[in-house]
Structure 1
């Protein structure tokens, strides 16, 4: 199993900070970036081989390779998404299909969260046989922007989309996923069907396709944790409030 970070996004709503760097390189704790936190968390889960999907301003990430590998004790491989500025992240995850073929812990490059999330997902697989495990915040109040999830009574995913009445949702996917090796071929096919249907779809739409085809997607409740998806300036302020507490 590897670590996999999706860090190709431009983060247009964070301009001017992202005029020249992707939002994964937003500083949230001194010089510590969102990418630093992702790598630190994956290393804490004993994942030393990490693939990073880059796109917008990719050179600003790849030029840090030596420093990041040394600081976190990891080996980095980069996959370049040349459509990152025009297509959504279903395509980014599909590009990493060879990387997640033997299983992966996937982290969005705009999510600030504690290392306990990775540990919780890894522990969940000991008592389940799902192909995909989705980290779920079922505590916070939801609005229109969140990636909302509906589950059955056992926590199995039934629906995942932003296009849902928040009142109908069980919780929110926080942008961290465990993909088992045995699910990789079917997920690859589902992701390809998703971006070919509409390149503006999210990789969570690929999870929905995987589920609709009979794949098992299990949600994993995280309880109350401090985390934030950094989409705009208010989110960045919140990230800077909580990152220093990890």
Structure 2
């Protein structure tokens, strides 16, 4: 199993940082000097759970990731493979995850390149492995939800029934935080679902690919992460929260 980070997005709401950097390389250290980014934190988590390899899907301002590749490898003791997404500025991330379809065959812990979270999330996913589970989503069942969150409804013994932003928050079991454990056995079916998803509409999310799998009868499971501090960084308010949280980890 290896790590996988989706870091191809532009993050236009984080300008001026993202005039020259992909969102995953926006500084989250308190000083804002770039010594710590979401990519740093995620690779650090991967190393802490014993992974020795990671792949990073790059697109927008990918040259900034390429420039840091050797430094990141040395810093975290990981061998990094960079995967180019040729449509990063045109299509949404269902295509971005599909670009890593060969990597999925090795089994991955997938993390979005804009999620600041503690290593306890990865540990929760690893602890939930077994009993035939092929895809496990990290789920926050504590947070108060609103319209923007990627919400999930589960059913006992059936795993995920719905995953979408477009539902009544009161009906949701929790929020998918952007971290998933994907076993090798799920790779081909997931890749096919992702392809179906972006061919239907290139603006769709990879979570819509998860829903496609569920609609086909594939069981996707969840692992509650408990009461931990994390944030998805979409804008400058989120970035301020991310810097507060990054200090804790």
TM range (shorter): over 0.9
For the Cα contact (< 8 Å) 1:155–1:220, is it kept in 2?
A: no
Q: Out of 37, 59, 63, which is 1:59 matched to? A: 63
1:237 aligns with 2:240: yes
Which residue does the alignment assign to 1:141?
A: 144
Once the two structures are TM-superposed, the CA of residue 24 in structure 1 deviates from its matched residue by 0.3
Once the two structures are TM-superposed, the CA of residue 153 in structure 1 deviates from its matched residue by 2.3
Which residue does the alignment assign to 2:3?
A: 3
Which residue does the alignment assign to 1:18?
A: 18
Which residue does the alignment assign to 1:73?
A: 77
Q: Out of 125, 133, 154, which is 1:130 matched to? A: 133
Q: Secondary structure at 2:19's aligned position in 1?
A: coil
Once the two structures are TM-superposed, the CA of residue 155 in structure 1 deviates from its matched residue by 6.7
For the Cα contact (< 8 Å) 1:155–1:219, is it kept in 2?
A: no
- CA–CA separation in structure 2 for the residues paired with 1:129 and 1:236: 38
When normalised by structure 2's length, the TM-score is 0.96
Q: Secondary structure at 2:118's aligned position in 1?
A: coil
Q: Secondary structure at 2:133's aligned position in 1?
A: coil
Which residue does the alignment assign to 2:124?
A: 120
- CA–CA separation in structure 2 for the residues paired with 1:237 and 1:105: 26
1:219 aligns with 2:222: yes
Which residue does the alignment assign to 2:199?
A: 196
Instruction: Note closer, same or farther for the CA distance 1:73–1:155 as it changes in structure 2 (3 Å cut).
Output: farther
**Structure 2 regions of 5+ residues with no counterpart?**
none
- CA–CA separation in structure 2 for the residues paired with 1:203 and 1:70: 31
1:157 aligns with 2:150: no
Q: Out of 109, 113, 125, which is 2:113 matched to? A: 109
How many residues matched? 245
- CA–CA separation in structure 1 for the residues paired with 2:52 and 2:202: 31
1:96 aligns with 2:100: yes
1:32 aligns with 2:42: no
Once the two structures are TM-superposed, the CA of residue 154 in structure 1 deviates from its matched residue by 3.8
Q: Which runs of 4+ in 1 moved over 6 A?
A: none
Q: Secondary structure at 1:196's aligned position in 2?
A: helix
**Structure 1 regions of 5+ residues with no counterpart?**
none
When normalised by structure 1's length, the TM-score is 0.98
For the Cα contact (< 8 Å) 2:158–2:219, is it kept in 1?
A: no
